[in-house]
Amino acid sequence: MKFGKPSLEFMRWRWQPDWCDLPRFDAARFLEAMRGRSMALVGDSLARNHVKSLLCILSQVAQPVEVVTTAEVDVTGRAVRRDFHYGSHGFNVSLFWSPFLVKANLSNAELGLGLWDVHTDTPDARWAAHIADFDYVVLSGTNWFFRPSVYREGGQVVGRNGGAASSAHASTAEVPVSGAVRAAFGTALGAIAAREGLRGKALVRTVTPAHFENGEWNTGGDCVRTSPFRRGERARDAVVAEFRTAQVDALREAAAASQRNGAELRLLDITAAMELRPDGHPSRYGHPPGGSVEGSFVVDCLHWCLPGPIDLWSELLFHMLVAHQ
C-alpha cells in the first residue's frame, strides 16, 4: 500500500474448500492451545513469509519478543535461526533458514546463482539437531533446488541438475530436480520419524507457485492481475506438479516409520489454493522504488502480500492443530 500497489482487491478474497467451511483463525484460541508448546518452521524465504503472516495474525492478541539464541549467519548472509517468544502463553515460534532442508555447501560463488553441493542423504543439522525441542515442525522449501547444484550421497557425487552443466561436474549425469526434492524431503522427514520419544506433529507445506507472466523473474516478468483465476482456468504448471508429487511421495514413505515412534506426519496442502492467486504478490510494490527483493530481483511474484492469500496457511494450521481436535 505504502509504495502504491494499484489494486487492493486481493484482500477481499478468501479460500472456500469443497464440502466444508474453513473456520476463521481465532488468535486467542490458537495461543491458548499452544500454551507451553513450541513450533519450528523450516525452509526458505517463503517459510519466513509464513512466519510473518502468523505473527501478524497473532498480534490481534499478543506481540512476541524476539529472543536472540544464536548469532549464526548462513553463507548467504541470512540468520540461521530466529526465535519469537510469547511470554503470556509460554509459546515459542522458531524460524530456521534451511532452503534445501539437507546439508548444503556453496562450493562456487562465481557461477550464476552459485554452485551448491547438496547432500541429499544428510539432514541439515542446523535445524535437525533441535527436533526434540519442538512440538510441531513445518517443513517447506523448493525454490532453491533450481540453483546450480551437485548432488551427493555418502559424500560422493551421484548427479547434478541442469544449472550445473557448465561446472566442473558437467560430465556427471543430470538428475531431475524433482528427484532431489523428493530425496531431501525424505531425508528431512526420516530424521523426524527416527527421533526417539518425539510425540509431536510434522507438517509438509506443499509447493506454492510463482506467477510471473510475460517473462521470468530476471527477464521482465510481472504479476499485474487484480483478481484470482477461476478454478480450471489455468492448467497446473508441470514443475509445480512434479514438486508436489515429490513432496507427497516423500511423506508417504516416511509415514510408516513415524507411526512406530509416535510422531505424526501431515500434509499442509496449499498448492491448489495458491495457484489461483496471481493477484496476491507484491510485484514491484513490496519495497521502495529502486530497491530489490532478496538482493536479486525487482519484481516479486513469488512472495505474498501481508495481509493476503498467505494468511490461509495459518488458517489451515489452526484447523489442523487446534480446531479439529
Element spanning 215, H or E: none
Residue 171, class by beta-carbon neighbours within 10 Å (0-12 exposed, 13-18 middle, 19+ buried)?
exposed
Q: Is 24 helix (H, G, I), strand (E, B) or coil?
A: coil
What cell numbers appear for 293 in the block? Answer: 527483493
- Specify whether 45 is catalytic: yes
89 is catalytic: no
Catalytic residue among 44, 222, 279, 300: 300
Note whether 198 and 239 are within 8 A (CB).
no
CB burial of 85-104 (b: ≥16 within 10 Å; e: otherwise) equals bbeebebbbbbbbbbbbbbb
Cβ atoms within 10 A of the Cβ of 260, count? Answer: 9
How far is C-alpha 153 from the chain's CA centre? 24
DSSP letter assigned to residue 281: S
C-alpha cell at 26: 481465532
CA dist., res. 50 & res. 140, Å (int)? 10
Residue 146 has φ and ψ, to the nearest 5°, of -80, -15
Q: Among the options 94, 279, 303, 314, which is catalytic?
A: 303
Residue type, position 241, single letter: A
Contact (CB, 8 A) for 125 and 187: no
Closest listed residue to residue 281, CA positions, set 320, 215, 225? 225
Catalytic option among 45, 167, 227, 292: 45
Tell me, rounded to whole angstroms, the distance of Cα 170 from its chain centroid: 30
Distance (Å, whole) CA 220 – CA 187: 36
Q: Is 300 a catalytic residue?
A: yes
Q: In 10 A of CB 14, how many CB atoms?
A: 11
Catalytically active residues are 45, 300, 303
